[in-house]
């Protein structure tokens, strides 16, 4: 019981340093999916901007394309937070996606002492170290109890887990051989995300998208993709302001939704 109290106190102090993410939070020892939990909460009661739910053990986490996000208990960061934005156009939602992604990349890059970073954003919402997945993000749009559209941001990052059932996964401990205090890492990542969300007012969309493409996995590198059951070789040359992936095909750029392209 005493250990549980100490952990709760550390979580409280870690989140207290943020400006709005985690000012209100809920810590669950176990949860099926923090995104689903927060969605249900928003639909049934008023939840403030920045409310954060974190769990030690997520039993039915969700990834992209409906894939499961499975992690070992007490080893990783799995949390969701509420984000209110004024304009719910596709362009503004993707801009928010970019800013949160860059906040995560900044957090990861701070672990590296060299100038070159091997941490990249794999379009649309995964995070890679070289060719292995270290985390992912899921953004869901809902209407809350006040009938206002709200973003639920779910984030999972592999921190201290070293054994994975799927071969292309990796963790910070795998990479740097360090054991991390999850509560401290939560503090660092929320502060990093907030630092980029402050840029949301910038009107220079090109600057923000350039930040994204500079950190994009396989950007301007020839790779194999599966499109409509056909395997092709192409390269990523753009991501437009609606978040569609631009592949160079037959000397022209064609844009695709996330469900239309599979990385091989």
Question: What does the pLDDT look like over 79-98, one tens digit per residue?
Answer: 999 998 877 788 889 999 99
Between β-strands 222-227 and 262-263, what pairing exists: parallel, antiparallel or unpaired?
antiparallel
Does 32 share its domain with 82?
yes
Most confident of 13-22, 48-57, 161-170: 48-57
- What is the pLDDT, as a whole number, of residue 16? 62
Does 157 share its domain with 249?
no
Does 91 share its domain with 14?
yes
Is residue 68's pLDDT more than 60?
no
Does 122 share its domain with 166?
yes
Does 62 share its domain with 168?
yes
Q: Left, alpha or beta for 172 (phi > 0: left; psi -120 to 50: alpha)?
A: alpha
Does 84 share its domain with 130?
yes
Query: How is the chain split among helix, strand and coil, in percent rounded to 5?
Result: 35, 30, 35
Q: How confident is the model at residue 14 (pLDDT cuts 50, 70, 90)?
A: low
Number of domains in the chain: 2
Between β-strands 149-157 and 132-143, what pairing exists: parallel, antiparallel or unpaired?
antiparallel
| pTM of the predicted protein model | 0.90
Q: pLDDT tens-digit profile of 211-259?
A: 899 999 999 999 999 999 999 999 999 999 899 999 999 889 999 999 9
Distance, CA of 45 to chain centre: 25
What CATH number should be reported for the domain holding residue 77?
A: 3.30.930.10
- Write down which residue in 196, 214, 232 finishes a domain: 214
Q: Using an 8 Å Cβ cutoff, are 129 and 118 in contact?
A: yes
CA Rg value for the chain:
18
* 72: phi then psi, degrees, rounded to nearest 5: -80, 150
Q: How confident is the model at residue 1 (pLDDT cuts 50, 70, 90)?
A: very low
Residues with Cβ within 8 Å of residue 63, at least 6 apart in sequence? 69, 136, 138, 156
Q: pLDDT tens-digit profile of 138-156?
A: 999 999 999 888 999 999 9
Question: Rounded CA gap, 97 and 243, in Å?
Answer: 9
- What is the pLDDT, as a whole number, of residue 5? 42
Is residue 3's pLDDT more than 50?
no
Burial class (CB in 10 A: 0-12, 13-18, 19+), 244: buried
Does 189 share its domain with 251?
no
Does 229 share its domain with 103?
no
- What is the pLDDT, as a whole number, of residue 69? 55
Mean pLDDT, the chain, whole residue set: 88
- What is the pLDDT, as a whole number, of residue 6? 45
Q: How confident is the model at residue 109 (pLDDT cuts 50, 70, 90)?
A: very high
Does 162 share its domain with 42?
yes
| Percent of the chain clearing pLDDT 90 (strictly above) | 69
Supply the range of the domain harboring residue 250.
222-263
Does 245 share its domain with 206?
no
- What is the pLDDT, as a whole number, of residue 11? 55
Dihedral sign of CA atoms 70, 60, 84, 124 in order: positive
Does 108 share its domain with 140?
yes
**Three-state secondary-structure class, residue 125:** coil
Does 143 share its domain with 251?
no
Most confident of 16-20, 22-26, 227-231: 227-231
């Amino acid at each position: 019981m005493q250990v549980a109290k100490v952990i709760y106190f550390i979580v409280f102090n870690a989140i207290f340093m943020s400006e709005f993410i985690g000012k209100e939070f809920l810590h669950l020892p176990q949860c099926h999916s923090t995104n689903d939990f927060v969605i249900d909460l928003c639909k049934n009661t008023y939840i403030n901007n920045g409310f954060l739910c974190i769990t030690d053990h997520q039993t039915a986490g969700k990834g992209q394309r409906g894939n499961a996000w499975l992690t070992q208990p007490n080893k990783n960061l799995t949390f969701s937070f509420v984000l209110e934005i004024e304009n719910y156009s596709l362009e503004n939602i993707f801009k928010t996606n970019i800013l949160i992604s860059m906040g995560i990349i900044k957090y990861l890059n701070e672990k590296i002492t060299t100038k070159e970073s091997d941490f990249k954003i794999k379009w649309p919402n995964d995070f890679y170290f070289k060719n292995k997945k270290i985390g992912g993000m899921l953004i869901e749009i809902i209407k809350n109890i006040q009938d206002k559209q709200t973003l639920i941001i779910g984030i999972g990052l592999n921190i201290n887990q070293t054994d994975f059932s799927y071969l292309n996964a990796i963790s910070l401990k795998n990479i740097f051989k360090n054991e991390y205090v999850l509560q401290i890492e939560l503090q660092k990542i929320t502060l990093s995300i907030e630092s980029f969300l402050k840029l949301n007012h910038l009107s220079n969309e090109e600057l923000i998208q350039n930040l994204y493409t500079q950190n994009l996995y396989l950007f301007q590198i020839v790779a194999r993709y599966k499109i409509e059951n056909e395997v092709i070789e192409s390269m990523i040359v753009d991501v437009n302001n609606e978040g569609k992936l631009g592949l160079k095909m037959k000397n022209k750029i064609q844009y695709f939704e996330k469900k239309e392209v599979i990385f091989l």
